[in-house]
Chain A
């Protein structure tokens, strides 16, 4: 008799059902796994053998064949340990095959305990789609899986417990997670925007960026506070809705970054400039999400922007426009979501003091030109807001009064976002920066006076068609922050100011 159990394999963010068939027969004793397993799966033989023995069962000295179907997709990872050992125990007659349709996943330790696996939430979603009766996962993944409604999730600590449960000797209730307090969940940080002295214009620009989901580039001399402000973005990010939280958790789960809980706060990723292209954009033989996907629905902060590999920066073009990245490899092609706010910081020149009122720049024109050229026109064009960071005057620095606190700013941002959600509830997008091209006319209507200003600016600074749209979108956000239904001329001129920096310096 052949025993058949269900498990899953991760492909991109989705799971596919994998059938694990186990057969034990006579003949030359052996233990083989077939069906395109990769190395981690082949190694599971040793874990399974020892785990079965340490759980107090006998490991059969027989001819054991494990088949994973469909055989044409590559199986990777260690989550097949559990279904394989259960299959062997069922074949041996230790327990009967479960009469309910269960999906099993879990890595075994040598002493028979179940270890955390990656991609738990994807497995739960698959079980739901297939209409399974339940899933059995390590208890370290149970809460994460239980976020998916309509699936009974059972979390176990050891192989022995799973066997007892399937035999009916152990009563278990499906894991339930209550997120009633979800909306109140905010992290506390020991940094705050009140620490930032002066820099009112930059703070304003950052608030616009977060409110409307615009990308922003800060250029300024060293020590002016670019990184300091960027780090504090974390403290003003609006709370996530439940569906956003699930989206984010899923990506983080596939990357093994979830700690048995749904991700509550918007991600803030801050990779170093030495990051590889695959690390940033995602990829690998079996594509994994990169930093841009891990910062989905959050912020990607690239400090020292020109120091990043040219190739990686150029790779940001499509994700910045589409909010997704498609990674094609010989074997597979997967699409990861990547809707992030890009916050980039750079110096205006190699020495850092170009245009600084208190220092003299020592760079040659050629040096500056070379430095600026690392960030290409197409990338600059896709970054909505360009803002110059000036050194903080000493008067501001010694000013005792604290600035606005992060909590105040965050509440304002949430209010501004609420206005947008309300306005775009019929649409596929929900933020000003994502307004579809054909809707710009109606959502970002401006009067004749403003049209003239814009037309003049377009000619004067030779702005691109994309810039034109970006200006309107930023103006929309500024108007929303002003709680103004229509875009006024002063909103538009402020927006214009954020687009013409690179023409000025």
Chain B
């Protein structure tokens, strides 16, 4: 279990680096609201992106993106609403993003789901 948490942190760090390189400003890491957690909240211009980071060693069980379930999305949504209530987000678009990492790729998908 300890190992899993460590892996998660490492991959989320990779994702954050990737975002910074692409001009995103990291607002929060592991933002929690009750049982709902968002891995990364990042901002670029008028877009605020709530990002779930998913890692899989290989794809024999499916692509990492496939493991972002409806349930997970609704948890992120709750967290996003709480964030909007507690922070000034102005007229920014609130976007759901997924960063999928495998041993040989890193993919950032914006607007992964409609809320």
Contacts and interface: CB of A to CB of B under 8 A. Distances in A.
Contacts of A26: 46, 89-94
A460 interface: no
Contacts of B99: none
Contact of B115 (A25, A29, A60): A29
Interface in A135-189: none
B91 A28 contact: no
A31 interface: yes
Contacts of B43: none
Interface in B81-98: 81, 89-96
B114 A31 contact: yes
Contact of A62 (B77, B93, B96): B93
B47 A61 contact: yes
Interface in A41-70: 60-63
B91 A29 contact: no
A427 B108 CA distance: 74
Contacts of A62: 93
Interface of A (DSSP majority class): strand
Contacts of A357: none
B90 A29 contact: no
Contacts of B89: 26
B114 A27 contact: no
B44 to A, nearest CB: 12
B115 A61 contact: no
Contacts of B110: 61
Contacts of B91: 25-27
Interface string A7-39: 000000000000000000111111100000000
Contacts of B95: 29, 61
A30 B46 contact: no
A182 B115 CA distance: 56
B92 A29 contact: no
Nearest to B113: A29
Interface string B62-82: 000000000000000100110
B112 to A, nearest CB: 10
Given A61-B93, A61-B95, A63-B93, A29 B111 contact: yes
A29 B46 contact: no
Interface residues of A, number: 11
Contacts of B80: 28
Contacts of A27: 91, 93-94
A30 B93 contact: no
Contacts of A29: 93-96, 111, 114-115
Nearest to B77: A28
B90 to A, nearest CB: 7
A489 to B, nearest CB: 81
A501 to B, nearest CB: 68
A29 B95 CA distance: 6
Interface in B35-78: 46-47, 77
Nearest to B48: A26
A464 B114 CA distance: 70
A28 B76 CA distance: 12
A25 B93 CA distance: 7
Contacts of B96: 29
A60 B46 CA distance: 12
A391 B77 CA distance: 80
B88 to A, nearest CB: 12
A24 to B, nearest CB: 9
Contacts of B111: 29, 61
Contacts of A28: 77, 80-81, 94, 115
A27 B85 CA distance: 12
B10 to A, nearest CB: 28
Contacts of B93: 26-27, 29, 60-63
A63 B96 CA distance: 12
Nearest to A26: B91
Nearest to B89: A26
Contacts of A31: 114
A172 B57 CA distance: 56
Most central of B80, B95, B114, B115 by chain A CB within 10 Å: B114
B33 to A, nearest CB: 15
B5 to A, nearest CB: 30
B81 to A, nearest CB: 8
Nearest to A60: B93
Interface string B99-113: 000000000001100
Contacts of B81: 28
A63 B47 CA distance: 11
14 contacts: A26-B91, A26-B92, A27-B91, A27-B93, A28-B77, A28-B115, A29-B93, A29-B94, A29-B96, A29-B111, A60-B93, A61-B47, A61-B93, A63-B93
Of all A-B residue pairs in the complex, the 6 with the closest CB atoms, nearest first, are: A61-B111, A26-B91, A28-B115, A62-B93, A28-B94, A26-B93
Given A26-B89, A28-B80, A31-B114, 9 more contacts: A27-B94, A28-B81, A28-B94, A29-B95, A29-B111, A29-B115, A30-B114, A61-B111, A63-B93
